[in-house]
Amino acid sequence: MSKGPQRIRGTQDIWGEESERFATVAETFDRIRRLFAFQRIEIPVFEATEVFARSIGETTDIVSKEMYTFPDRGGDSLTLRPEFTAGICRAYLSEGWQQHAPIKLATHGPVFRYERPQKGRYRQFHQLDAEIIGSDSPLADVELLVMADQLLGELGIADGVTLQLNTLGDAETRDGWRTALVAHFEAHRGNLSEDSLARLDKNPLRILDSKDPRDRPIADSAPSIDDYLSGPAAEFFGRVTEGLDAAGVAWTRNARLVRGLDYYRHTAFEFVTDRLGAQGTVLAGGRYDGLIEALGGPFTPAVGWAAGIERLAMLIDKPARYEPIIAVVPDQPYLEAEAAALAHRLRAGGVAVDIAYRGSCKKRIEAAKKKGLDAVLLLREQSQSPRLHLTCYSGTDEERERLRLDIMSVTSSLYGGLSGKGT
Least distance (Å) between residue 369 CB and ligand ATP = 36
- Counting residues that bind ligand ATP (by CB under 6 A) gives 19
Least distance (Å) between residue 161 CB and ligand ATP = 11
Residues 6+ apart with CB under 8 A from 261: 55, 56, 57, 60, 85, 288, 291
Query: Distance of alpha carbon 23 from its chain centroid, rounded?
Result: 10
Rule CB under 6 A: which of 331-390 touch ligand ATP?
Answer: none
Taking residues 158 to 197 in sequence order and writing x for each that binds ligand ATP by CB under 6 A, - otherwise, the string is ----------------------------------------
- Judged by CB under 6 A, the residue of 47, 83, 289, 374 near ligand ATP is 83
- Judged by CB under 6 A, the residue of 24, 55, 107, 127 near ligand ATP is 127
Burial of 201 (C-beta count, 10 Å sphere; 0-12/13-18/19+): exposed
Least distance (Å) between residue 134 CB and ligand ATP = 22
Residue 281 makes contact with ligand ATP by CB under 6 A:
yes
Least distance (Å) between residue 87 CB and ligand ATP = 13
Residue 284 makes contact with ligand ATP by CB under 6 A:
yes
Name the segment binding ligand ATP (CB under 6 A); options: 116-124, 374-382, 383-391, 399-407.
116-124
Beta carbon nearer to ligand ATP, 38 or 122: 122
Residue 125 makes contact with ligand ATP by CB under 6 A:
yes
Residue 107 makes contact with ligand ATP by CB under 6 A:
no
- Judged by CB under 6 A, the residue of 103, 142, 282, 295 near ligand ATP is 282
Residue 279 makes contact with ligand ATP by CB under 6 A:
yes
Name the segment binding ligand ATP (CB under 6 A); options: 46-54, 101-109, 282-290, 337-345.
282-290
Angle at alpha carbon of residue 390, lines to 387 and 396, rounded to 5°: 160
- Residue 386 zone, left/alpha/beta (φ > 0; ψ -120 to 50; rest): beta
CA distance 290 to 296: 11
The residue whose Cβ lies closest to ligand ATP is 308
Name the segment binding ligand ATP (CB under 6 A); options: 95-103, 122-130, 313-321, 329-337.
122-130
For residue 265, the SS3 value is strand
Beta carbon nearer to ligand ATP, 124 or 241: 124
What does R_g of the chain's alpha carbons equal in angstroms?
Answer: 27
Helix %, strand %, coil % for the chain, to 5?
A: 45, 20, 35
Residue 129 makes contact with ligand ATP by CB under 6 A:
no
Residues 6+ apart with CB under 8 A from 68: 79, 80, 82, 112, 113, 114
Residue 304 makes contact with ligand ATP by CB under 6 A:
no
Residue 310 makes contact with ligand ATP by CB under 6 A:
yes
Residues 6+ apart with CB under 8 A from 347: 353
Cα dist from 99 to 93, 95, 106, 126, 141, whole Å: 10, 10, 18, 30, 21
Element (H, E) at 251: none
Least distance (Å) between residue 388 CB and ligand ATP = 48
CA distance 174 to 335: 77
Beta carbon nearer to ligand ATP, 152 or 283: 283
Residue 237 makes contact with ligand ATP by CB under 6 A:
no
CA distance 409 to 150: 37
Residue 311 makes contact with ligand ATP by CB under 6 A:
yes
Least distance (Å) between residue 93 CB and ligand ATP = 21
Angle at alpha carbon of residue 170, lines to 168 and 172, rounded to 5°: 115
Residue 223 makes contact with ligand ATP by CB under 6 A:
no
CB 42 within 8 A of CB 164: no
CA distance 108 to 56: 19
Name the segment binding ligand ATP (CB under 6 A); options: 153-161, 234-242, 306-314, 339-347.
306-314
Residues that bind ligand ATP (CB under 6 A): 83, 113, 115, 120-122, 125, 127, 260, 279, 281-284, 306-308, 310-311
